[in-house]
Chain A
Amino acid sequence: MATLTKPKVNIKNHANTEQKSITETAATTKQNMNKKIVYDTKDLNLWYGETHALKDINLSIYEKEVTAIIGPSGCGKSTYLKTLNRMVELVPSVKTSGVITYKDKSILDKSFKVEDLRTRVGMVFQKPNPFPKSIYDNIAYGPKIHGIRNKKILDEIVEKSLRGASIWDEVKDRLKENAYGLSGGQQQRICIARCLAIEPDVILMDEPTSALDPKSTLRVEELIQELKKDYSIVIVTHNMQQAARISDRTAFFLNGEVVEYDETDTIFTNPADSRTEDYISGRFG
């Protein structure tokens, strides 16, 4: 991976910003001709009461890629992620405008059933939040509420999901134990397994490693690389190195706007916007 502190002449960059981003958008569009779009966001605006939290977001998320969203605290990256499965609506004062399509369906329509959306789009949270149930019941919860009752099928799902989250070997002998007996890193992988159990298309991850130690972080990162083969992943992260390590595409958010969205390599080696450069080189944020 490229060095993050590569010196650059800012003035020159400033002048080029607009032109360059236009040409680059064109370039990426060409590159992505054969990539399927999972999520398409058009002119998304979001308000928490009076606070304008997301401003004119335009973003396409591609299938079976890891899309990282980076940016300083309060820039709206988590808000955007939560808009993708409409969890943001749990805040009563939220208002949105604009369109997000998920596989050509407009999900922000009130007529669109959130439960259906969330059945297709899983989410992993910042702090591991397994249910206070046994490991088995944690994984079986999703399939069960969606009507799968057959014990044999459930057993298979549980094993497959735990293997998928590469935690099967650690917990296979203690499936009946409370998930809260596990370490933080293990709990987070249980949460990922819980998510896999209903075989979603997309997994949204909201700073999934920020509460974990470096070793557990590494395991989760490796896992994300594995999962990329079958799932489209959108990950919000505070950690720029993490974004550089694991993502294919990176969006840089600042004050509720997308400053830059491009392939991760480009963002980290040759960003079009000077603010992106300032952020990734650690000058603020």
Chain B
Amino acid sequence: MALDNKIDNHDKRSIQDMIAKKKNGKNITSITEKVMPAILFLIAAVSILTTIGIVYTLLTETIEFFKRVPIMDFFTGTVLKPLSQNPEFGVLPLINGTIISSIIAMLVAGPIGIMTAVFLSEYASERVRRTLKPMLEILAGIPTIVYGFFAFTFVTPLIREFFPSVEATNILSPGLVMGVMIIPMIASLSEDAMTSVPNAMREGALALGSTKLEVTFRVVIPAALSGIIASFVLGISRAIGETMIVTIASGSSKNFTFDITQSMQTMTAYIVEVSGGEAPAGSTIYYSLYAVAMTLFVFTLIMNLLARYVSRKFREEY
């Protein structure tokens, strides 16, 4: 016993000694401690500054555009003919194409995504969930150009097999494929939201004689609603911003129509087309890029703000 104590004391003293020795070298550390926050702040500021820079560029060029084309003509015009002798810059065909493709995508992704989430969170065994969820997330990692190619070379011909009247480039096929692309996002986020509903609530509902379906649809989904809606809004936002799929599979006709079998152009696809070389800097068509980009930016900004608002508003506190 005595010996043990001695060793203990000795060890303690020597560790304290070592710490004391190290203390002398602490000056450098204290300088680092002071400088680091500033450096970290600068690094963090990069993304904020970039955003400000982008918005600034967009704004100045958009203002330049509106000096040449009246703002009312832009937002109410249903004809978009940037390259004709008498160019017209109505943005409505693009907004229309964007909204229609997003609606088609959400009609696919919404129901399938949420049902997938229900299956994964409420019905799948732990093993199945652990296999399926990473696979879903792989689906989310496929480059969109692959989806675009898939839409153009596989889905469109398939649709035309059954409905020959469908055009070779149309909004339906990229819309559907975009939906498939968004499924993993909605499924994964909704599943997170539903899994985080405490089991105590499921038990409470089961103990009242609910069936599993009743528990899922009357307790779990309402409790996870804020997360589910947020996933929808993010999905919509993704659909609005999606570029490659629609560029490849929907063509570039600037139709203002509601016929989904026809080719339409979205805002993103227009930007791709025009920036592809036909826009000399300083021309009206060049500035129209920025005006469309600004509109797109506002759209997605609104969706993101909506997602935040909705997820707060519908949060069922527990």
**B43: chain A residues within 8 A (beta carbon):** none
Is B283 an interface residue, CB under 8 A from the partner?
A: no
**A131: chain B residues within 8 A (beta carbon):** 201, 204-205, 219, 222-223
Is A101 an interface residue, CB under 8 A from the partner?
A: no
Is B208 an interface residue, CB under 8 A from the partner?
A: yes
Q: What is the bound-complex CA distance between A132 and B214, given in angstroms?
A: 15
Interface string of A174-195 (1 = CB under 8 A from B): 0000101100000000010011
**B223: chain A residues within 8 A (beta carbon):** 131-132
Partner of B211, one of A87, A115, A130, A141: A115
Interface string of B297-318 (1 = CB under 8 A from A): 0000000000000000000111
**A115: chain B residues within 8 A (beta carbon):** 209-211
- Name the distance in Å between A207's Cβ and chain B's nearest Cβ: 13
Interface string of A51-82 (1 = CB under 8 A from B): 00000000000000000000000000000000
**B204: chain A residues within 8 A (beta carbon):** 125, 129-131, 191, 194
Q: Are A133 and B211 in contact (CB under 8 A)?
A: no
Closest chain A residue to B222, Cβ basis: A133
Closest chain B residue to A180, Cβ basis: B317
Chain B interface residue count, CB cutoff 8 Å, equals: 20
Is B207 an interface residue, CB under 8 A from the partner?
A: yes
**A178: chain B residues within 8 A (beta carbon):** 316-317
Q: Are B219 and A146 in contact (CB under 8 A)?
A: no
Interface string of B24-45 (1 = CB under 8 A from A): 0000000000000000000000
Within 8 A of B (CB), among A155-179: 178
Contacts known (A90-B203, A125-B200, A131-B204); A145 close to B210, Cβ less than 8 A: yes
**A118: chain B residues within 8 A (beta carbon):** 206-209
Closest chain B residue to A181, Cβ basis: B317
Interface of A is mostly: helix
**A195: chain B residues within 8 A (beta carbon):** 207-208
Partner of B218, one of A123, A145, A191: A145
How extensive is the interface on chain A, given as a class?
A: 20 to 34
**A123: chain B residues within 8 A (beta carbon):** 207
**B318: chain A residues within 8 A (beta carbon):** 132, 180
Interface string of A209-225 (1 = CB under 8 A from B): 00000000000000000
Is B111 an interface residue, CB under 8 A from the partner?
A: no
- Name the distance in Å between B165's Cβ and chain A's nearest Cβ: 46
Q: What is the bound-complex CA distance between A90 and B199, given in angstroms?
A: 11
Which of B198, B201, B206, B219 gathers most chain A CB within 10 Å?
B206
- Name the distance in Å between B274's Cβ and chain A's nearest Cβ: 49
**B198: chain A residues within 8 A (beta carbon):** 129
Partner of A119, one of B201, B209, B218, B219: B209
Is A198 an interface residue, CB under 8 A from the partner?
A: yes
Which of B198, B207, B214, B218 gathers most chain A CB within 10 Å?
B207
Which of B204, B205, B218 gathers most chain A CB within 10 Å?
B204
Interface of B is mostly: helix
Within 8 A of A (CB), among B242-260: none
**A250: chain B residues within 8 A (beta carbon):** none
Q: Are B201 and A194 in contact (CB under 8 A)?
A: no
**A119: chain B residues within 8 A (beta carbon):** 208-209
Is A116 an interface residue, CB under 8 A from the partner?
A: yes
Q: Are B209 and A116 in contact (CB under 8 A)?
A: yes
Closest chain B residue to A127, Cβ basis: B200
- Name the distance in Å between A46's Cβ and chain B's nearest Cβ: 18
- Name the distance in Å between A139's Cβ and chain B's nearest Cβ: 11
**A145: chain B residues within 8 A (beta carbon):** 208-210, 214, 218
Is A264 an interface residue, CB under 8 A from the partner?
A: no
Q: What is the bound-complex CA distance between A122 and B208, given in angstroms?
A: 6
Contacts known (A118-B208, A145-B209, A178-B316); A87 close to B203, Cβ less than 8 A: yes
Is A232 an interface residue, CB under 8 A from the partner?
A: no
- Name the distance in Å between B202's Cβ and chain A's nearest Cβ: 8
**A274: chain B residues within 8 A (beta carbon):** none
Is A85 an interface residue, CB under 8 A from the partner?
A: yes
**B317: chain A residues within 8 A (beta carbon):** 132, 178, 180-181
Q: What is the bound-complex CA distance between A178 and B223, given in angstroms?
A: 12
Within 8 A of B (CB), among A104-147: 115-119, 122-123, 125, 127, 129-133, 141-142, 144-146
**B214: chain A residues within 8 A (beta carbon):** 145
**B222: chain A residues within 8 A (beta carbon):** 131-133
Q: Are A122 and B210 in contact (CB under 8 A)?
A: no
Q: Are A142 and B200 in contact (CB under 8 A)?
A: no
Q: Are A125 and B208 in contact (CB under 8 A)?
A: no
Q: What is the bound-complex CA distance between A194 and B203, given in angstroms?
A: 13
**A194: chain B residues within 8 A (beta carbon):** 204, 208
**B211: chain A residues within 8 A (beta carbon):** 115
Q: Are B203 and A141 in contact (CB under 8 A)?
A: no
Within 8 A of B (CB), among A213-244: none
Partner of A132, one of B201, B203, B208, B209: B201
Which 6 A-B residue pairings sit nearest by Cβ, starting from the closest? Answer: A132-B316, A119-B209, A123-B207, A129-B200, A118-B209, A132-B318
11 residue pairs from A and B, CB less than 8 Å apart? A90-B206, A115-B209, A118-B206, A119-B208, A122-B208, A125-B200, A131-B204, A131-B222, A145-B218, A146-B209, A195-B208
Q: In the complex, given contacts A117-B209, A145-B208, what are 7 additional A-B residue pairs having Cβ atoms less than 8 angstroms apart?
A: A119-B209, A125-B207, A129-B201, A133-B222, A142-B209, A145-B209, A180-B318
